Structure 1
Amino acid sequence: MTLSPVEFEHVLQLNHAFLAPSARSYSRLGRGDKSQNLRRGLCPQWGMGTRQSSGARAFPTRKAHRFLFHDKTEPRGPKSMAMIHAAWRLIRPMLPAFLDPGRKVRLLLETAQRLASAESPDPRLSVRSADPTPLISLVAPVYNTKTAYLDELLASFRSQEIDNRTTGLFELVLSDDGSTSLPTREWLDRHAGEPRLKVVRNSENGGIAAATNSGIRAAEGEWVAFIDHDDALAPFALERIAVTLLERPEIELLYTDEVITNSRLDPEGYFLKPAWDEILLSGVNYINHLSVYRRSRLGALGNLRPDFDGSQDYDLLLRYTRDLDRSKILHLPYPAYLWRRDGTSYSAQFMAKATRRARQALQERYHAAGRTMNVQPALDPNLHRVDWAGARHEWPLVSVVIPSRNAKALIAQVIDGLRNKTDYPRLEIIIVDNGSDDPEVLDLYKAWTRDLPQFHAEIRTEPFNFSRAVNRGCERARGDVFLLLNNDVEMQHPDWLKEMVSCLDYPNTGIVGAKLLYPNRTIQHVGVIAGLGGLAGHWFIGENRDLAGPMGRLQVRQSMSVVTGACFLMSRQCWQDVGPFDEERFAIAYNDVDYCLRALEKGFRVIWTPFAELVHHESASRGSDETPANIERFKREQANLRDRHRTDILDDRAFNPWWTKGQSRPEIRVLPALPAAR
């Protein structure tokens, strides 16, 4: 179950409500010596336990069952708590996933760590370890941190040293921000001077950014990674990162996937991320943990800015990546980071201030000469929407191309939506009709031709071919922007088209898609994943319209590989460079998939936005596709898609390799090998 920040909190509350007190009591008794496991470099059995605490002993399954379901009077002493522990172990495997959100996360961690441990040693690690300076400096600002958290952080760091091949490659820099807690200061005193551990003392409490900057100045590594003082690394994390950095010396930034845990580091969710996406980053800091920066570039930028505490990492990412080519930014799909979510972090306590500073950083990032850029709340008020529309002084002519035949109610509705429910100043409407013979529809065409100066209806009796209709409409269009629009789309909000056109202001954008709902207001389109089902498919189809999606991605703009042709905005430049739709190989199906993938090959960006929401009465005017001839044609177009784009093996950059490809709502899958950086 993939959890956005909002979903995470909700599921965590559900989990505690259903499982209290037994799950929490179990976890206290059964965690075992996690630090010891980490030091060995083993996969911790998060929440499963390897030892019991003192005073507890194992109970037979039958007795645990009797205690759980029949005995209501036994006092809650050490013996009964151990029985709860045993009972919990009995029922946990039978619980539905939403009652045990950590089950799938444990599968992810265990699989990734098993595969990492089976990897052959990379000889480049041994060569690099001979260098007296570390490859990676891990910097953690510390302030009044619980000593148990520091123990777990240090143990997770020590677990990264595997045999001799990684010794000396890494260092941990703890930068104390003027802690007043005596246990914290004593812990730092006790560990200062240990191998590959530096303790930096700051006499005053200067904030997260200032403390981190002190740590960066003390760091010696070629690369710098940041870790919070209450978090931990997963086993093999730094080894996988180091191998990637040595394989790809040209890169400037690397980031990994992460696991969300509770206060005890028991996993409860995960952030499985897409490849680099500037558009998504403009709405949410999806990169987050663990990100690895080249230290020389950090220094040139002045490191972190103290005025942005709470969103200092977001501000840094926006500045660091501003002029970087996509090829210099890598996503390593390895769950390297354990993010403890206990509500005590700076951002959790001061969300309003952190959000305000994040939007200030976005305003600076997207400021352009002569344009004052505002940043508004996204669908989630803590996420962001760069307001391109508010900064515009003029709008381009949009040529709306609508393939249609008969279907009076539908065509009347869509034209009324464009005329009366769309707040856009410059529209040209082109209906490409493949043979309407309904007199009422023909009368409508005559009336619109008379009343609308920018209306054209071209009627040619021929079999329906979506690609041919689109090509005919675009060839006639006079606008700088084309909108391909199905005749069964219904407008909901007047600003939808301005939103889509404004997305073209992101650099290199050629195509923009909208959020489409079924008439019952469930999700029909929030982007298409190339390779889903071996071909291409909508993700989260049929889900609740308000679904946040992984990391809140369905509540902000993002890059996709494909968007649906039902509401498909395209720049004239994209049309000219990519060429026409393929009328022969993709007459009806997959023409939008083919076109988007061809546009990506030409260097254009495809964007999906949730801020343009419409209702799609899908295929309402076409009738059934279940005839023998249509089924045979559909199979041919499927084969054409696989042949041209190898969708059976395609790695969609918007999709994480750890997700299943056989269903609309992705789940964790077990991979035979670790996915490559991308």
Structure 2
Amino acid sequence: MALQAYQSTFEHSVAGVNYSWWLEQQAERHQEQLQVLQSQQPQWAYQPVISILLPVYNTPPTLLAECIHSVTAQLYSNWQLCIADDASTSAETRQALQQLCAGDKRIKLVQRENNGHISAASNSALAVATGDYVALLDHDDLLSPDALLKVAAAINQHPNALLLYSDEDKIDGQGKRYDPHFKPGWNPDLLLSQNYISHLGVYQRQRMVNIGGFREGLEGSQDHDLVLRFTDGLQSQHIVHIPEVLYHWRAVAGSTALGSNEKSYAHKTGLQVLQQYVSKQHPQASVSSTAGDYYRVVWPLPSPAPLVSLLVPTRDGVDILAPCVNAILEKTDYRHFELIILDNQSSCPRTLEYMQQVSERDERVRVLRWDHPFNYSAINNFGASQAKGSIIGLVNNDVEPINAGWLSEMVSQACRPKIGCVGAKLYYPNGSLQHAGVILGIGGVAGHSHKYFNGNALGYFARLQLVQNLSAVTAACLLVRKEVFEQVGGLNEEHLKVAFNDVDFCLKVREAGYRNLFTPFAELYHHESVSRGAEDNPEKQARFQAEIAYMRQTWGPQLDNDPAYNPNLTLAYEDFSLRCLSS
């Protein structure tokens, strides 16, 4: 069967690839790429000076030496190291600083008279920086030897870059690297959930100066505050992600690398930082803690509440349809919606009787007939044309809400002007994950993020628990403003009658300039594809293969480079595991 053949192109989960083994596998290719880059460097039109800000306070001399050596050993030499000693009380630290800074004119040492904490110390370092860009380095962490070379190369490739950031990993007391964080590209809503930018962060110096540098009194979340203020008003082309590990975060006692509970004050400060930021966008927006000491922004619903038109295509199958419709009507705290059952040639007397009864029982329910061969895209386009609401909801007839606030959450997100499609978190009846957003390229076209994971799992760097921007979400439960739906021409009823029409739609919405979004705070059960059945005859198989071909022909480069994912992560599995050379 065609669907099974497609699904067989990737596995749903795999035992995690050992990071040390992965690094060994990548070493030869990495070295070859590095040699090419070094040979190209003399021809670069721009050789930017990168000033590294290094606040220091009572750092153990051994760790401090390793940190500074990671700068002096850089393959790119056009750098400046700006060290601000925040009035260290350790004589060993002060002595080590004098010795380590001697003999290299590129190193500037500022001795602060009073301890002002990390923001004040970082500002002291910024005050003596003269580079075009500034990079942030903690006093016991390490840069990879090629870090600044890769940054300079990215600046030459993206001359409009104002902020650049890389992937990162951790390093333990024995020097072993572990826990790599392979990040997505620019993801504004994920940044409101966690500071995923973090290390290595490189900022255009003049803009950093213009916004006032670091704000004092926000210790623990000063970097998060900085990146929020720095990126405010920037376009995506100003922010560049370098998908390589260029920074090693030292995991020692007292470091947040070991866990957020090492600096509990940082989370409290982070709530303050985010509340100040989102309040500027909407005074009624609020910020709260969520699983794993991350953040959730609750956006207010408009007043008056917009009418939502939930479109539910169906054909017979009352045993599937009735639980779906009844649950939506009974369990949804957002009341201002209409539920349009799109009847695609039902003939089952029980189904027809149920549709009549429920439409008579609840004035929010309408039944519209669509007397044509099954075409998911065409059915929903018809429903959207008949919808009275300003928000369209694409809802499968085999979903059931879990939390009463599911629709309120999705509406609050969909009403934000820059947001396009909003997707929900869907579970199989046994509680495992069915959908937490769509990742492009998996299996050649697309797959579901973290499919089959335990329903309570945090996911890859907590992404199962966080609102975030994704390239696509499933139409099994998708909200979008009607004006956006119409702007992109709705679903593709000519080429994508059954499969991938939601991915295609989301990509059209993204190309129109909107951010698609996944929220884990709208939760529903999904009895996947129960009503449509299997791809079990030659006609269906041919149609499915044609849909795959259309997606590859239309969106090939986008499918192979999902900005919400990372090229170091696999396209063979749905579990965010490491990508091997063969995959």
Which residue of the other structure, out of 24, 40, 60, is the alignment partner of 1:122?
40
Which residue of the other structure, out of 624, 630, 639, is the alignment partner of 2:540?
630
Larger relative contact order (C-alpha < 8 A, sep ≥ 6)? 2
Distance 1:458 1:506, change over 3 A: closer
The one-letter code of the counterpart of 2:96 is W
Q: Distance between the aligned counterparts of 2:122 and 2:38, measured in 1?
A: 35
Distance 1:308 1:392, change over 3 A: farther
1:589 partnered with 2:503: no
The one-letter code of the counterpart of 1:375 is V
The one-letter code of the counterpart of 1:497 is L
1:157 partnered with 2:42: no
1:384 partnered with 2:295: yes
Q: Distance between the aligned counterparts of 1:414 and 1:260, measured in 2?
A: 46
Q: Distance between the aligned counterparts of 1:184 and 1:532, measured in 2?
A: 50
**CA distances 1:432-472 after superposition (whole Å, capped 9, x unpaired):** 11111121221122222222223211223432111111011
**CA distances 1:374-416 after superposition (whole Å, capped 9, x unpaired):** 1012233x10011114x65442100000000111122111111
How much identity, in percent, do the aligned residues show?
36
Local SS of the residue matching 1:386: strand
Q: Distance between the aligned counterparts of 2:171 and 2:291, measured in 1?
A: 25
On the 8 A contact 1:555/1:610 being kept in 2, the answer is yes
Q: CA deviation at 1:124?
A: 5.1
Q: Distance between the aligned counterparts of 2:17 and 2:489, measured in 1?
A: 51
- Tell me which residue corresponds to 2:513: 603
Q: Distance between the aligned counterparts of 2:45 and 2:557, measured in 1?
A: 39
Q: Distance between the aligned counterparts of 1:137 and 1:482, measured in 2?
A: 49
- Tell me which residue corresponds to 2:251: 341
- Tell me which residue corresponds to 1:474: 384
Q: CA deviation at 1:506?
A: 3.9
Q: CA deviation at 1:107?
A: 4.3
Q: TM-score, normalised by structure 1?
A: 0.80
On the 8 A contact 2:170/2:178 being kept in 1, the answer is yes
Q: CA deviation at 1:114?
A: 4.7
Q: Distance between the aligned counterparts of 1:272 and 1:99, measured in 2?
A: 14
Local SS of the residue matching 1:588: coil
Q: Distance between the aligned counterparts of 1:116 and 1:548, measured in 2?
A: 35
- Tell me which residue corresponds to 1:267: 177
The 5-angstrom pairing of residues 533-552 of structure 1 reads 533-552=443-462
Local SS of the residue matching 2:471: coil
The 5-angstrom pairing of residues 524-673 of structure 1 reads 524-646=434-556, 650-669=560-579
Q: CA deviation at 1:545?
A: 1.5
Q: Distance between the aligned counterparts of 1:281 and 1:420, measured in 2?
A: 35
On the 8 A contact 2:83/2:125 being kept in 1, the answer is yes
Q: Distance between the aligned counterparts of 1:334 and 1:229, measured in 2?
A: 21
1:375 partnered with 2:287: yes
On the 8 A contact 1:124/1:246 being kept in 2, the answer is no
The one-letter code of the counterpart of 1:141 is P
Q: Distance between the aligned counterparts of 2:62 and 2:151, measured in 1?
A: 26
**CA distances 1:561-590 after superposition (whole Å, capped 9, x unpaired):** 111110011111211210121112000111
The 5-angstrom pairing of residues 351-430 of structure 1 reads 351-368=263-280, 371-380=283-292, 382-389=293-300, 392-430=302-340
Q: Distance between the aligned counterparts of 1:242 and 1:622, measured in 2?
A: 52
Distance 1:431 1:631, change over 3 A: same
The one-letter code of the counterpart of 1:112 is H
On the 8 A contact 2:427/2:434 being kept in 1, the answer is yes
1:146 partnered with 2:27: no
On the 8 A contact 2:254/2:263 being kept in 1, the answer is no
Q: CA deviation at 1:348?
A: 4.6
Q: Distance between the aligned counterparts of 2:44 and 2:495, measured in 1?
A: 52
Q: Distance between the aligned counterparts of 2:424 and 2:250, measured in 1?
A: 35
Q: Distance between the aligned counterparts of 1:660 and 1:491, measured in 2?
A: 31
Q: Distance between the aligned counterparts of 2:16 and 2:544, measured in 1?
A: 37
- Tell me which residue corresponds to 2:21: 103
Give the CA RMSD over aligned residues. 2.2
Which residue of the other structure, out of 79, 83, 88, is the alignment partner of 1:179?
88
Alignment gaps of 5+ in structure 1? 1-95, 673-678
On the 8 A contact 2:254/2:262 being kept in 1, the answer is no
Relative to structure 2, which stretch is displaced further, 581-590 or 506-515? 506-515
Q: CA deviation at 1:125?
A: 6.7
Alignment gaps of 5+ in structure 2? 1-13
The one-letter code of the counterpart of 1:633 is R
Q: CA deviation at 1:215?
A: 0.5
Q: Distance between the aligned counterparts of 1:585 and 1:488, measured in 2?
A: 24
Q: Distance between the aligned counterparts of 1:506 and 1:125, measured in 2?
A: 45
**CA distances 1:285-343 after superposition (whole Å, capped 9, x unpaired):** 00110011111111111100111100000000111111111111111112100111223
Q: Distance between the aligned counterparts of 1:524 and 1:659, measured in 2?
A: 20
On the 8 A contact 1:625/1:631 being kept in 2, the answer is yes
